[in-house]
A and B are shown apart, each in its own frame.
Chain A
Amino acid sequence: MNRVVVIGAGPAGLAAAASAATAGADVVLVDEGERVGGQFWRHHPDLTDPRLQHQLGRFGRLRESLSTVRMVSSASVWRVEVDPLRVHVLVGPADATGRAAETLTADSVVVATGAHDRVLPVPGWTLPGVTSAGAIQALAKRDALAPGESTVVAGAGPFLLPVAQSVALQGGRVAEVVEAVGFGAILRGWGTKAWQLTAAAGKAGELSGYVASLARHRTPYRFGSAVTRIHGTDAVEAVTVQRIDTQWRPIAGTERTVECDSVGLGHGFTPRLETAIQFGCAISPDRFVTVDAEQRTTVPGVFAAGEITGIGGADAALAEGEIAGLAAAGAASDDPRLKGAAAVRRRMHAFAARLEVHGIRAGWTAWLDDDTIICRCESVRRNVIDEYVATSSRGMRLATRAGLGACQGRTCGRSVDDITGAAGSTVGAGFEHRPVLSSVRIGELAGLSNGAGTLDTEPSGGN
């Protein structure tokens, strides 16, 4: 029997585990969260307002089909190996000491580690009250909280809609939603058949629900604009909203001040690639895991599904996961069970392609001051990064300390790339290459080093 280990229990990983189990594999599903569901289904059974949670029926059905799957929650994957395929996990409460170590061996692995918000730095973004847009979702779903009394939600893409709705449903006020892309460009980008397309993708109901919610709360929605400055002394007091051009450069003279006590920033998502990189999987120039029609990566036995192969939302993740799970369990490429999921994947990819209109444009760096912090962990400012523009990734990190702090460049890496003009280059690859994949204490590492493979000498992640 094929032994399949699935890393990540979001929509992609759940679907992969379910389809691999259906195909007769012996499946282990690991996730660092306390409950399965990933970013999309991160509801708490008692705390979450059901209006915040979509497709719960699908979630229930998936859970039921996992009865033969061994599910390990609170399990952080901190190291993986090929030849043989091995996945090293630490099991226990987040950042606890003395968690239990386990090594899972597999015939195939599905990597479904998802994504996190990409947040572009802006003067004042380290003030208390500023969070990622995803954090607003996490707080709403997991903790039943609004981020503040009055929130500005800013960035790019349709994800700003559910974020604004969550604030309102939790009793907060949305002062304004600020979208970087102009309304005309969105119409052109989404195309004349946008509504047909979203309907085909099953998104129409969800979208119109958000739009109705915004209308009901009379929330202003600004297009072609950005929050270019956040004001406050001890915490957020206001933001500057400014029009930006098509390259996202601020247009002088268009500044407005909007009062608020919290700001949610989200400029799209960036995949959590480190596990795939440690397996040795090829990464595309636009920084996603390269996969074939059966979600196979370039490493034998390793499959990838969900946001790490491209940002397409939960439905795309579900379809890709289903395919990856079947293929990982050994299904033939003409297996009829692959057909339905492949059709959904095709539709969702067409939908996702429309998101490109919201892609980050290079002009954003013009809203930074010389002394704006870029790397939050090490408080590295823009002018320091500018000084080392010509150096290598390693040189940049060693000279400036950007990316060497606790988050290991997860928050600042892509921004440093943009500032140095190195998009898609080795600078990013350097930031994403991490010998330790999740937070591990030095003491835990010391206790583990036997049998866990040799660590190289790059600085380790975590505390």
Chain B
Amino acid sequence: MSISIRVDGVELSGRDGQTIAGVLLGNGQRTWRDAHDGRRGIFCGIGVCQDCVLTVNGVEGVRACQRTAVDGDVIEREGRA
């Protein structure tokens, strides 16, 4: 089954059960956060490094590798505070 999420206004589809990171990577997007020195995406894949955070349905700082994508999720990328 496929699901669809909206990332910075763009509709992306993924497979039911994938993480948000999985949906982004499956759509060829490797980075979704600005750090001091460049862009970041997934690094550890298991919730340890915190490199992959983004905003999900208005809640900031959600680890994309730990959160299962839910149909209709609205995602925003994060810049460095």
In the complex, B13 has a CB within 8 A of chain A: no
Q: Do the beta carbons of B53 and A134 come within 8 Å of each other?
A: no
Q: Which of B21, B35, B41, B46 contacts A116 (CB 8 A)?
A: B46
Task: List the B residue with the shortest CB-CB distance to A126.
Answer: B38
Q: Do the beta carbons of A439 and B40 come within 8 Å of each other?
A: no
Q: Do the beta carbons of A379 and B63 come within 8 Å of each other?
A: no
Give the distance in Å from the alpha carbon of A456 to the alpha carbon of B74 in the complex: 37
Give the distance in Å from the alpha carbon of A147 to the alpha carbon of B21 in the complex: 11
Q: Do the beta carbons of B68 and A134 come within 8 Å of each other?
A: no
Q: Which of B18, B35, B44 contacts A143 (CB 8 A)?
A: B18
Q: Which of B48, B60, B65 contacts A463 (CB 8 A)?
A: B60
Q: Which of B15, B40, B63 contacts A47 (CB 8 A)?
A: B15
- What residues of A have a CB within 8 angstroms of the CB of B66 in the complex? 32, 94-95
Q: A135-B43, A143-B22 are in contact. Are A128 and B31 (CB under 8 A)?
A: yes
Q: Do the beta carbons of A44 and B38 come within 8 Å of each other?
A: no
In the complex, A34 has a CB within 8 A of chain B: yes
Q: Do the beta carbons of A406 and B50 come within 8 Å of each other?
A: yes
Q: Do the beta carbons of B59 and A39 come within 8 Å of each other?
A: no
Task: List the A residue with the shortest CB-CB distance to B30.
Answer: A128
Count, A-B residue pairs, CB within 8 A: 130
- Most chain B beta carbons < 10 A, residue from A39, A272, A407: A407
Q: Do the beta carbons of B42 and A93 come within 8 Å of each other?
A: no
Q: Do the beta carbons of B59 and A97 come within 8 Å of each other?
A: yes
Q: Do the beta carbons of B46 and A379 come within 8 Å of each other?
A: no
Q: Which of B37, B49, B67 contacts A379 (CB 8 A)?
A: B37
In the complex, A96 has a CB within 8 A of chain B: yes
- What residues of A have a CB within 8 angstroms of the CB of B43 in the complex? 130-132, 135, 376, 411
Give the distance in Å from the alpha carbon of A139 to the alpha carbon of B24 in the complex: 12
**Closest CB in chain A relative to B21 CB, distance in Å:** 7
Q: Do the beta carbons of A463 and B53 come within 8 Å of each other?
A: yes
**Sampled A-B contacts (13; CB under 8 Å):** A46-B15, A46-B16, A46-B17, A93-B68, A132-B43, A132-B45, A142-B18, A235-B31, A379-B36, A406-B61, A411-B43, A411-B44, A463-B53
In the complex, A292 has a CB within 8 A of chain B: no
In the complex, A319 has a CB within 8 A of chain B: no
At the interface, is chain A mostly helix, strand, loop or mixed? loop
Q: Do the beta carbons of A143 and B49 come within 8 Å of each other?
A: no
Give the distance in Å from the alpha carbon of A407 to the alpha carbon of B51 in the complex: 8
Type the 1/0 row for A130-153, where 1 means its CB is closer than 8 Å to any CB of B.
Answer: 111011111100111101000000
Give the distance in Å from the alpha carbon of A379 to the alpha carbon of B61 in the complex: 18
In the complex, B7 has a CB within 8 A of chain A: no
In the complex, A234 has a CB within 8 A of chain B: yes
Q: Do the beta carbons of A134 and B25 come within 8 Å of each other?
A: no
Q: Do the beta carbons of A132 and B61 come within 8 Å of each other?
A: no
Q: Do the beta carbons of B30 and A95 come within 8 Å of each other?
A: no
In the complex, A410 has a CB within 8 A of chain B: yes
- Report which A residues bind B (CB closer than 8 A): 32, 34, 39, 44-47, 93-97, 116-117, 126-132, 134-139, 142-145, 147, 234-235, 272, 373, 376-379, 405-407, 410-411, 439, 441, 463
Q: Which of B41, B48, B68 contacts A407 (CB 8 A)?
A: B48
**Closest CB in chain A relative to B76 CB, distance in Å:** 14
Q: Do the beta carbons of A143 and B26 come within 8 Å of each other?
A: yes
Q: Return the 5 tightest CB-CB contacts between A and B, nearest first.
A: A135-B45, A143-B22, A463-B61, A406-B50, A94-B66
Q: A39-B46, A135-B46, A145-B25 are in contact. Are A126 and B37 (CB under 8 A)?
A: yes
Q: Do the beta carbons of A47 and B17 come within 8 Å of each other?
A: yes
Give the distance in Å from the alpha carbon of A349 to the alpha carbon of B21 in the complex: 36
Q: Do the beta carbons of A93 and B46 come within 8 Å of each other?
A: no
Q: Do the beta carbons of B40 and A128 come within 8 Å of each other?
A: yes
Give the distance in Å from the alpha carbon of A49 to the alpha carbon of B47 in the complex: 22
Q: Which of B21, B35, B47 contacts A32 (CB 8 A)?
A: B47
- What residues of A have a CB within 8 angstroms of the CB of B26 in the complex? 143, 145
**Closest CB in chain B relative to A53 CB, distance in Å:** 15
Q: Do the beta carbons of A96 and B48 come within 8 Å of each other?
A: no
Q: A34-B68, A46-B17, A97-B59 are in contact. Are A126 and B40 (CB under 8 A)?
A: yes
**Closest CB in chain B relative to A341 CB, distance in Å:** 27
Task: List the B residue with the shortest CB-CB distance to A94.
Answer: B66
Give the distance in Å from the alpha carbon of A260 to the alpha carbon of B55 in the complex: 30
In the complex, B62 has a CB within 8 A of chain A: yes
Give the distance in Å from the alpha carbon of A323 to the alpha carbon of B9 in the complex: 52
Give the distance in Å from the alpha carbon of A32 to the alpha carbon of B17 in the complex: 17
Q: Do the beta carbons of B37 and A373 come within 8 Å of each other?
A: yes
Type the 1/0 row for B56-81, where 1 means its CB is closer than 8 Å to any CB of A.
Answer: 10011111011110000000000000
- What residues of B have a CB within 8 angstroms of the CB of A145 in the complex? 22, 25-26
- What residues of A have a CB within 8 angstroms of the CB of B62 in the complex? 94-96
Q: Do the beta carbons of B49 and A126 come within 8 Å of each other?
A: no
Q: A95-B59, A128-B31, A379-B36 are in contact. Are A47 and B18 (CB under 8 A)?
A: yes
**Closest CB in chain A relative to B14 CB, distance in Å:** 9
Task: List the A residue with the shortest CB-CB distance to B36.
Answer: A379
**Closest CB in chain A relative to B62 CB, distance in Å:** 4
